[in-house]
């Protein structure tokens, strides 16, 4: 859900390989709060 709110992060995610997307998803599962997840998504958006 947080990913869909950040266009750059979504674009980064969709342009990754299946293996890389799974790694992103697994890391996202370790987030303990909404703020932590939003920070992670923001980082992904800044990479792109």
pLDDT the model gives residue 2: 86
pLDDT the model gives residue 10: 95
pLDDT the model gives residue 47: 87
- Give one DSSP letter per residue of 2-44, joined into a string: TGGG-HHHHHHHHTS-HHHHHHHHHHHTT--SHHHHHHHHHHH
Block residue for tokens 């909404």: 34
pLDDT the model gives residue 3: 87
CB–CB of 47/15 below 8 Å? no
Instruction: Tell me the domain boundaries of the chain.
Output: 3-47
Q: How far apart are CA 40 and CA 26, in angstroms?
A: 12
> How do residues 1-48 score in pLDDT, each as one tens digit?
888 899 999 999 999 999 999 999 999 999 999 999 999 999 999 986
């Amino acid at each position: 859900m947080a990913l869909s709110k950040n266009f750059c992060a979504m674009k980064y995610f969709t342009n990754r390989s299946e293996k890389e997307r799974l790694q992103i998803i697994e890391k996202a599962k370790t987030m303990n709060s909404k703020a932590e997840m939003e920070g992670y998504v923001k980082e992904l958006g800044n990479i792109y």
